[in-house]
Chain A
């Protein structure tokens, strides 16, 4: 029972954070709202017993990725959004309709999962050594590829962010 209440609170926090991100006109505020949501998601992981992912979520997402976002926002010195007239006035209406439909469909699918229950002890924590063994055996190739992608991304960022030479 306690778990359910805790989950509802955390879920509410995540949704509120997401709505706050969408509704705030200042990107810095948006980013901070998103950090809050990500923390809530980490809490959801924790409630599901995936404590390793919860920690990674906080370190990588809230820690690294969002810092990068904030860093860029500050680098570009962005304040409130003032973009002038919206060239796509009907976008709001369509967006709400479509995402509403999306939510309805997905939630109805989720409702179909009613019969499915969590197997085993809901409070049991993920065996981290097991996770590590899988990463370096079954998913070894994927790990290598992921590391390669990170390397490429790093090089790519340097190339993209570098100021082009004059006259080139």
Chain B
């Protein structure tokens, strides 16, 4: 069983802060941006659309900053404040308000989301400059930010679910933003359907929690579990909360474990973990800033956030935590191997996203929630940065994505190359902040040797594919002279956000540095402690030890990649020749898509075709058409009565009156008798 880093006594004040409206303000800004751009965007000039879109996110960011200031001003144990905006679903004893929660965790998330989003919005102004659907893009982007902020600021699972599904919807819309392209439309559908699979588990788990606790409030559930309160589950009676969660079920797992696995199923779908990761690489069909925002920095981290938010629940189900850790570690390594052979610049980054999310789940599964959240924050910066760099490269290369046709771009795109390397090295875990956050996770994994080994292996691969990507794109000889000649650096509106993100990548490391760094650098753990529990802070010795291993692993990958792609290009082909089946397997992405197609998609399609041909056409359509046919027949039969002669109508009228009179007379006579 993984070690849990401290237990948590998390209390939520259901009190009142005078400035509670700030929490709502954080949400109102992006929503207002969406409404303005969504309704009137087509008629507004582009500069106004851009200002509205970026301004609303800037407003949300400033409001989040104010929220942080408010939150810090409170004593640490009173920093969790729930705001019930209005009663939403009320049925008998069940009362589900539309509730917002602001506590250190949600404030951290809101700041990260709004901050990174703002920079990506600014970048998008340049990136989407030539697009026909400028306003739709920004409207959707604002809506996405709104839902994401709603997700992280939600005070109960029902409110969270709105944000959860909302970001899914926006993701679908934005992946298939260029819906006239067949591939984009398909990728959007795929993302939507695959994540729905996970959402199903999530919803079932949420309903399970409601059935047990009678509430979906994070604070109430946490208190019930922590103080082992009596609850009234649906099977009747009163029972202590922990006993209810430990109730065995027919499948051999406890109820709590099942609920946690259901929640994790939602996280697996949304955060693209094995086996539901397949939608994320395809999601790269969307505009690149969308990939940066949704499919790297924010939305995909929702699963990690949710697990951390509900950690008090997962801690009651150690088996579920183990599953989280194992799936996370496995996905991290698994996705990294595919990243090593992928030739599409954005897909390499997509696989690395899946891999890094795996790290975060590994941390959460091990109980190192703060390490997971820390990696989430740093990853948001450097992965957004890497995607923006990729977008900048695409901009220069006229939307070519294949890294085999690039090369030597560093000379033409100095800023892009420099910022890319900052992001890349952070991703590889060689420079802060990626170095520190990954170390924190690997340190937490040290006691679980198998998971630790997988983590280190992933670190090697991460460094390898990042270096490979950087070298192939920015260095060496240009492989396509024509493309290379037309390459140019992107405009300032794109490079400035990249520079800011690069600075942010490094700056964010001050939040938490390992113990061997002089001075005390533990702002984030100190701040999140009230929610996520004490951190088992390693000594300088231990920290140095784990950093040694992590950096060593990353250096191995870096050196191999340098050797194989910079010094002796083609060296790895001999490896591919020696082990052709291995290369085929990895390059074919383990044929997971094909397996899913054979096992699920094709049978599903066949069933659907059968139902559509027989049941839909034969029964439903036939019924509907039959009713229509009958109505038409009846109508053409009785329309003959409409002769147009007033005297005829008068005749019907008098005839009916006479019949009515006869009826009344007969009735009166029988009644009188």
Chains A and B share a contact (CB less than 8 Å): yes
Interface residues of A (CB under 8 A from B): 87-88, 91, 94-95, 98-99, 101-102, 105-106, 108-109
Q: Are B647 and A88 in contact (CB under 8 A)?
A: yes
Chain B, residues 635-649, CB within 8 Å of chain A (1/0): the string is: 000000000010110
Contact of B619 with A by CB under 8 A: no
B658 touches A102 (CB 8 A): yes
- In addition to A91-B647, A102-B661, 10 A-B residue pairs with Cβ atoms within 8 Å of each other are A87-B645, A88-B647, A91-B648, A94-B655, A95-B651, A99-B654, A102-B657, A105-B658, A105-B661, A108-B665
Q: State how many angstroms separate the Cβ of A88 from the closest Cβ of chain B.
A: 6
Known: A105-B661, A105-B665, A109-B665. A98 touches B655 (CB 8 A): yes
> A94–B645 Cα gap in the complex (Å)?
15
B662 partner residues in chain A, CB cutoff 8 A: 105
Bound: A95/B652 CA distance, A:
10
Q: Can you list 5 A-B pairs, Cβ within 8 angstroms, ordered by A?
A: A88-B645, A98-B654, A105-B658, A106-B661, A109-B665
A108–B668 Cα gap in the complex (Å)?
13
Taken together as a complex, chains A and B put the C-alpha atoms of A51 and B651 apart, in Å, by: 36
Please tell me if the beta carbons of B661 and A98 are within 8 angstroms of each other in the complex.
no
A99 closest partner in B (C-beta): B654
Q: How far is the CB of A19 from chain B (nearest CB, A)?
A: 18
CA distance A98 to B665 in the complex (A): 16
C-alpha spacing A108/B665, complex, angstroms: 10
**Chain A contacts for B645, CB-based, 8 A:** 87-88
Give how many B residues have a beta carbon under 8 Å from the other chain's beta carbons. 11
| CB-based contact A101/B665 at 8 Å | no
Cβ-closest 7 pairs across A and B: A98-B654, A105-B661, A101-B658, A94-B651, A102-B658, A91-B647, A98-B658
A-B interface pairs (CB < 8 A), number = 27
Tell me the bound Cα distance from A94 to B658 in angstroms: 12
Min C-beta distance of B354 to chain A, whole Å = 72
Q: Cβ of B657: which chain A residues have Cβ within 8 Å of it?
A: 102
Nearest-Cβ distance from residue A122 to partner chain B, whole angstroms? 28
Distance of A105 Cα from B665 Cα, bound (Å): 8
A106 to B645, CA, bound (A): 27
| Nearest-Cβ distance from residue B641 to partner chain A, whole angstroms | 13
Q: In the assembled complex, which residues on chain A have CB atoms less than 8 Å from the CB atom of B655?
A: 94, 98
- How far is it, in angstroms, between the C-alpha of A91 and the C-alpha of B648 when the chains are bound? 8
A114 to chain B, nearest CB (A): 14
Chain A's interface: helix, strand, loop or mixed, by majority? helix
Q: How far is the CA of A101 from the CA of B665 in the complex (A)?
A: 13
A36 to B361, CA, bound (A): 103
Q: Which residues from chain B contact A91 at a C-beta distance below 8 Å? A: 647-648, 651
A106: chain B residues at CB < 8 Å are 661
CA of A121 to CA of B665, assembled, Å: 32
Nearest CB in chain B: distance from A104 CB, A: 10
Using Cβ atoms and an 8 Å threshold, which residues of chain B touch A95? 651
Mark out the residues of chain B between 617 and 651 whose CB falls within 8 Å of any chain A CB in the assembled complex: 645, 647-648, 651
B670–chain A nearest beta-carbon distance, Å? 15
| Cα–Cα distance between A132 and B601 once the two chains are bound (Å) | 87
Q: Which residue of B lies closest to A101 (CB)?
A: B658
Q: In whole Å, how far is A83's beta carbon from the nearest beta carbon of chain B?
A: 12
In the bound complex, residues from chain A placing their C-beta under 8 Å from that of B665 are 105, 108-109
Tell me the complex Cα distance, A94–B651, Å: 8
Q: Which residues in A have their C-beta under 8 angstroms from that of B647?
A: 88, 91
Give B453 Cβ to nearest chain A Cβ, in Å: 91
Name the CB-closest residue of A to B662.
A105
User: Which residue of the partner chain, among A88, A98, A101, A109, contacts B648 with CB atoms under 8 Å?
Assistant: A88
B7 CB to closest chain A CB (Å) equals 78
Q: How far is the CB of B387 from chain A (nearest CB, A)?
A: 66
Most buried by A among B648, B658, B662: B658
Closest Cβ of chain B: how far from A135's Cβ, in Å? 31
Shortest C-beta distance, B660 to chain A (Å), equals 10
CB-CB under 8 A from A102, the residues of chain B are 654, 657-658, 661
Tell me the smallest distance from the CB of A133 to a CB of chain B, in Å.
36
- Minimum distance in angstroms from A47 CB to a CB of chain B: 28
CA distance A87 to B644 in the complex (A): 12
Nearest CB of chain B from residue A43's CB, rounded to whole Å: 28
**Residue in B closest to A112 when the chains form the complex, CB atoms:** B668
Q: Kindly list chain B residues whose C-beta atoms are within 8 Å of the C-beta of A88.
A: 645, 647-648
Chain A residues with CB under 8 A of B661: 102, 105-106
Q: With a CB–CB cut-off of 8 A, which chain B residues contact A98? A: 651, 654-655, 658
Compute how far the CA of A5 lies from the CA of B166 in the bound complex, rounded to whole angstroms: 91
Shortest Cβ gap from B60 to chain A (Å) = 58
Give the docked Cα–Cα distance between A91 and B654 (Å): 12
Question: In the complex, A88 Cα to B647 Cα: how many Å?
Answer: 9
* Chain B 346-385 interface mask (CB, 8 Å, partner A; 1/0): 0000000000000000000000000000000000000000
A109 to B661, CA, bound (A): 10
Which A residues are in CB contact (< 8 Å) with B648? 88, 91
Q: State the Cβ distance, B655 to closest chain A Cβ, in Å.
A: 6
B contact residues around A101 at 8 Å (CB)? 658
Instruction: Write the nearest CB–CB distance from B653 to chain A, whole angstroms.
Output: 10
Q: Which residues of B contact A99 (CB under 8 A)?
A: 654
A102 to B658, CA, bound (A): 6
Closest to B643 in A: A88
Bound form: Cα–Cα A78–B658 in Å: 34
A62 → chain B closest CB, angstroms: 26
A-side contacts of B651, CB under 8 Å: 91, 94-95, 98
**B654 — which chain A residues lie within 8 A by C-beta?**
98-99, 102
Q: Name B645's closest neighbour in chain A (CB-CB).
A: A88
Assembly CA distance A116 to B375 (angstroms): 100
A102 to B234, CA, bound (A): 69
Complex CA distance for A88 and B643, rounded to whole angstroms: 10
A57 to B334 Cα, complex, angstroms: 103
Q: Whole-angstrom distance from the CB of A54 to the nearest CB of chain B?
A: 29
Q: Give the distance in Å from the alpha carbon of A105 to the alpha carbon of B663 in the complex.
A: 11
- Minimal Cβ-Cβ distance residue in A for B665: A105
Which of chain A's residues has its CB closest to B650's CB? Answer: A95
Distance, CA A95 to CA B658, complexed state (A): 12
Q: Which residues of B contact A87 (CB under 8 A)?
A: 645
Question: How far in angstroms is the closest Cβ of chain A from B672?
Answer: 10
Residues of B within 8 A of A94 (CB): 651, 655
Q: How long is the Cα–Cα vector from A98 to B647 in the complex, in angstroms?
A: 13
- Chain A: minimal CB distance from B577 (Å): 90
Shortest B91–chain A CB gap in Å is 47
Smallest CB gap from B653: residue in A: A98
Q: In chain B, what residue has the closest Cβ to A86?
A: B647
Write out the residue numbers on chain A whose beta carbons fall within 8 Å of the beta carbon of B658: 98, 101-102, 105
CB distance from A84 to the nearest CB of B (A): 15
Within the complex, what minimum Cβ distance (angstroms) separates A147 from chain B? 30
Distance A102 CA – B653 CA, assembled complex (angstroms): 12
Within the assembled complex, what's the spacing in Å between the Cα atoms of A40 and B585?
111
B649 CB, nearest partner CB in chain A, Å: 11
Kindly list chain B residues whose C-beta atoms are within 8 Å of the C-beta of A109: 665
In the complex, A91→B655 CA distance in Å? 12
Query: What residues of B have a CB within 8 angstroms of the CB of A105 in the complex?
Result: 658, 661-662, 665
Chain A nearest CB from B602 CB (Å) reads 67
CA separation between A105 and B666, bound complex, in Å? 11
Give Cα distance in the complex from A14 to B651, angstroms.
Answer: 25
A108 to B648, CA, bound (A): 27
Query: What is the CA–CA distance of A101 and B660 in the complex, to the nearest angstrom?
Result: 12
A106 to chain B, nearest CB (A): 8
Q: What's the least CB distance linking B285 to chain A, in Å?
A: 59
Q: In the complex, A105 Cα to B657 Cα: how many Å?
A: 11
